[in-house]
Chain A
Amino acid sequence: MPKHTFQLNGETVTVDVEDDVRILWVLRDVLGVTGPKYGCGINVCKACTSHINGKAFNPCAVPVGAIGPGDEITTIEGLADTAPGDGLHPMQDAWLEHDVAQCGYCQPGQIMTAVALVNRVRAENRAITEDDLDSIRNVCRCGTYSRIREAIRTGAARM
């Protein structure tokens, strides 16, 4: 079986698995990293959202063979380490402050999307708009959407 090496939450990992296995399953089933959730497997629910080289992506739709040793993947488990200080990432703190989670299943993906969105908007040198928030595709079947909007604004102010 082919070997694949990439960076995961700040560490180099190597796995023995077929090229076409999607990264979501490499993370969850092979490496036991279960923060990214399965909600559709076809890149529409966004429950699996993680970061690749600092940008949001959906590992259910990327074969492990498509990435290489230089690619840095960050899952919710590694998010806090990307921010200064010992605590959580400011977006995670905002989530706690607004008590966003209900069942919590969608929330790792929501937070990873939110952080990438704020970074993107910031790179464009502008503030978050209602349209930016409307463009978030992550499903929350518990319906926490309004608190998500509030938390993103709080988190953005502190990032």
Chain B
Amino acid sequence: MPHDQTTDPPATGLSRRSFVGYVMGGTGLVVAADLALGAAPAQAAGLPIPSVPQVPELYDLNDFLTHCTMPTSGLIAIHVDEQGDAHFALPRMEVGQGITTSTAMIIAEELDLPVERVHVTLAPARRELLFNQLTGGSNTTISTYTPIRVAAAVARKALLDAAAIQLGALVTTLSVKGGVIFDLLGNSLSYGDAAALAAPAQTKQVQVELKAAAERNVVGTPQRRVDALDAVTGRKKFAMDLTEVDVPDALPTMVCRAPDLNGRPVSVRNQAAVAAMPGVTHVAIIPTGVAVRARTFGQCIDAVRALDVEWKGGTVAGRSSADILEELRSAQLPLAVPRLGATTVEGDFVFHFRSGSALEPNCAVADVRDGTATVWGGLKSPIDAQSKVAKALGLPQAKVTVNVVQGGGSFGRKLFSDAAIEAAQASQAFGAPVKLMWHRADEPRQGRVHPMATSRVRATVLLGSVISFEQRHTSVSTDFTHGLGERLTAEVAALPTGLGNLGFSETVFLLSQELPYNFGVVTQLLNESDRDFDRFNTSSVRNIYSPDVRTANELIVDQLAAKLKLDPVAFRLKHLKSGIVKNVLRRAAELGEWGRQMPAGTAQGIAIHKEYKGATAVLVEIDCRRQTVDRRVRDAVTGPRVTKATVVVDCGLAINPLGVQAQMMGGFSDGMAQALTYSNHLVDGHFLEASWDNSAYTRQWNTPFEFRCEVVDSDREEPGGIGEAGVAASMAAVACAYARATGSMPTEFPINFHDPLHFEPKSFVPSVPASPTNGLDFVS
């Protein structure tokens, strides 16, 4: 494939190793580089889109995200302190994906400093960075790799220059080991001492050469997370762990929400009585519900349950999943190729709503007073949060400070600042600082969900070849209004011809979806059934459209293989366009022993995905035998069991292979849950699921007994994205295995959606369940 950028040599601008950075004037050694460095996507502008290769082969979502970071000339700075330790505030958000660790590794590598002496923190909202402070699309490492390396290389050069003068040696004769500079005679100077001498009076520009691949000894080696010790000792601080010392008087606050999805409060009938409850300090209406502030969250829960509120109806009053399905079907775009009898293979798939909720609920701390606001939260688009909080409070944006705290998972959810806005509104209404947290019950019911979608696929086989493959994906609108969407308007002119006319969702779809097979005429189109973002609260949940799109694709690919009487792996290898995809597929088949004899009712399934400048192949074994499906674990959704999973990933330069494997494991848990057990049921205007006992996300009793992930050595010099890359192929592989084990292709996901509900829906009024008191009965 001439246009396959994942196999082409790097384009101009990406392979250079010589860059310019700055040594900042003043005291102490501070170096900087432009965050836009090296970010020029290979074929950013003006390229015609040929009809045959699909858009992502030329210019994908990551190019677009990287492109959006280019025009901002924000500097990122590394500070080397008197101890010789390096400090860096990353303008991105850590939510578990391991970017603080990989960033520390990148700096350690270029600076020749041990990883534990590099301290990476999260930068607060920096308005001057414009759109260059958004964590999403698995784009962090892709877009920040070069600028961070350049800054670290500038620091190293400044330290060596200073040491050369001090030691009276030539720079070229100096060497560095563990943050100490040595000359040929064995004299040494620590980074700390050199840093004191290195700061110039005026800022100066310097040119540096980055390390070559052969000189690396940190990047590419498995490295444990820098925050692991804090995580296992309970010291890691999330937003709700900020205490009196951090924000005095920020008391627990919760919100009583409407019975209907997006219902709104009209009045409170018993405000005085609730305000007088034990521990309660404030009660007030905010736009999304009734906020209560108390000494403890337990007392907030009691108060929320006691509130008697008059509500306005919701945004989908009376509607159920079946109504939305009908709506989606009627919005489906027509297929171009007619059905041609025995030569046609087709499928019509349904993907239900699923909650994007992390384990840490939506939460934020806010202190609004005297015309200013300060917010603390796990926010992936802090600049957007700053502007939305300002707007909600009627304050100028400059009066709002947004501090970014590490988040307990995100999966696309934390691109939105829902809790930060509510916290600010509550703090303003109360005239007191708040620590606002959603009750878990509100997460699946009122929180952001992956939009429900249908996917229609039709392929045609003629004379032993696949001559057409069409897909029409129809989805409830996805909310992209977290700041990136607005950027599009400014960037349209620079996008490859033809993209500028599309809505933002269609653009994301077009930029991210790629059918990596040679199947003749290929068309993939997205349509959204309505443009109403306020009806459902959606977000680009981990991997956006890909898991659903690829599941539909790969199931049909298996059908095509069967029709042509070819083994699924052989068929894929024959039709795949990209070398890296073939490579991961071959390796997964080998590692996972593809084709081994399996007992009846059990089967293997295999699937591939290509995105984020890389490729993933997943091979699973599933057990659908009665005794397994019916196995009993107390209050658990069991069903088919994936017993073994093998993931092979090529993500370009793997900064931290151990972190890559972790992300694949997480992506696998998501993909499997979406295929088998995890969804939201919309019934009569609200979602039934209200907590982890209702939402059947993957648990230990669903986890494969064997999980293996191999990160293949890549000869590509640039890192790809890993946070989402594991989801799509995992979901597809599980679906394919299920189809082969049961002999019938599943068309609705999760496959248990129409099973009798495994739970009794919790009450809608009160909106949150009471905390049990019988915990001592379950001591174990």
Query: Measured between C-beta atoms, what is the minimum distance from B6 to chain A in Å?
Result: 26
A158 close to chain B: CB less than 8 A: no
A18:B662 contact, CB within 8 angstroms: no
A86 close to chain B: CB less than 8 A: no
**8 Å CB contacts to A: which residues of B95-110?**
95-98
Contacts of A95 in B (CB 8 A): 228, 232
Bound CA span A141–B665, Å? 11
Query: Measured between C-beta atoms, what is the minimum distance from B377 to chain A in Å?
Result: 14
Bound CA span A36–B233, Å? 10
**8 Å CB contacts to B: which residues of A71-110?**
75-77, 80, 88, 92, 95-96, 99-108
A18:B228 contact, CB within 8 angstroms: no
B233:A92 contact, CB within 8 angstroms: yes
A105:B771 contact, CB within 8 angstroms: no
Give the nearest-CB partner of A108 in chain B.
B234
User: Interface readout for B82-96 with A: 1 if CB under 8 Å, 0 if not?
Assistant: 000000000000011
B779:A102 contact, CB within 8 angstroms: no
Contacts of A143 in B (CB 8 A): 665-670, 698
Q: B234, B241, B359, B778: which contacts A45 (Cβ < 8 A)?
A: B359
Query: Measured between C-beta atoms, what is the minimum distance from A143 to chain B in Å?
Result: 3
B700:A38 contact, CB within 8 angstroms: no
Contacts of A144 in B (CB 8 A): 662, 665-666
B705 close to chain A: CB less than 8 A: yes
Known: A32-B243, A96-B224. A44 touches B296 (CB 8 A): no
Contacts of A56 in B (CB 8 A): 779-780
**8 Å CB contacts to B: which residues of A125-159?**
130, 133-149
User: Interface readout for B743-780 with A: 1 if CB under 8 Å, 0 if not?
Assistant: 00000000000000000000000001101111110111
Bound CA span A93–B393, Å? 47
User: Interface readout for A48-68 with B: 1 if CB under 8 Å, 0 if not?
Assistant: 000010011111111100100
Most chain A CB within 10 A, of B670, B769, B774, B780, is at B780
Contacts of B244 in A (CB 8 A): 32
Contacts of A141 in B (CB 8 A): 357-359, 409, 411, 697
Report the interface size for chain A: residues with CB under 8 A from the other chain: 76
Known: A39-B359, A47-B359, A106-B359. A146 touches B780 (CB 8 A): no
Give the nearest-CB partner of B730 in chain A.
A143
Most chain A CB within 10 A, of B233, B658, B699, is at B233
**8 Å CB contacts to A: which residues of B658-674?**
658, 662-663, 665-670
User: Interface readout for A116-127 with B: 1 if CB under 8 Å, 0 if not?
Assistant: 110010000000
Known: A60-B771, A62-B775, A106-B359. A77 touches B662 (CB 8 A): no
Bound CA span A108–B241, Å? 13
Query: Measured between C-beta atoms, what is the minimum distance from B233 to chain A in Å?
Result: 7
B188 close to chain A: CB less than 8 A: no
Bound CA span A66–B774, Å? 9
Contacts of B408 in A (CB 8 A): 37, 103-105
B692:A88 contact, CB within 8 angstroms: no
Query: Measured between C-beta atoms, what is the minimum distance from A127 to chain B in Å?
Result: 16
Bound CA span A101–B297, Å? 26
B773:A107 contact, CB within 8 angstroms: no
Give the nearest-CB partner of A60 in chain B.
B771
A39:B692 contact, CB within 8 angstroms: yes
Bound CA span A24–B297, Å? 9
Bound CA span A138–B699, Å? 7
A104:B96 contact, CB within 8 angstroms: yes
A42 close to chain B: CB less than 8 A: yes
Give the nearest-CB partner of B669 in chain A.
A143
Known: A42-B691, A96-B228, A142-B409. A147 touches B298 (CB 8 A): no
Contacts of B227 in A (CB 8 A): 101, 104
Contacts of B411 in A (CB 8 A): 141
B233:A25 contact, CB within 8 angstroms: no
User: Interface readout for B200-244 with A: 1 if CB under 8 Å, 0 if not?
Assistant: 000000000000000000000000110111111111111011011
Given contacts A61-B774, A134-B633, A135-B700, 8 further A-B contacts (CB under 8 A): A21-B298, A57-B775, A77-B233, A102-B663, A135-B634, A139-B697, A141-B359, A143-B698
- Of the A-B pairs whose beta carbons lie under 8 Å apart in the complex, a sample of 9, sorted by A's number, is A24-B298, A34-B237, A43-B775, A44-B635, A56-B780, A61-B774, A76-B234, A101-B228, A104-B230
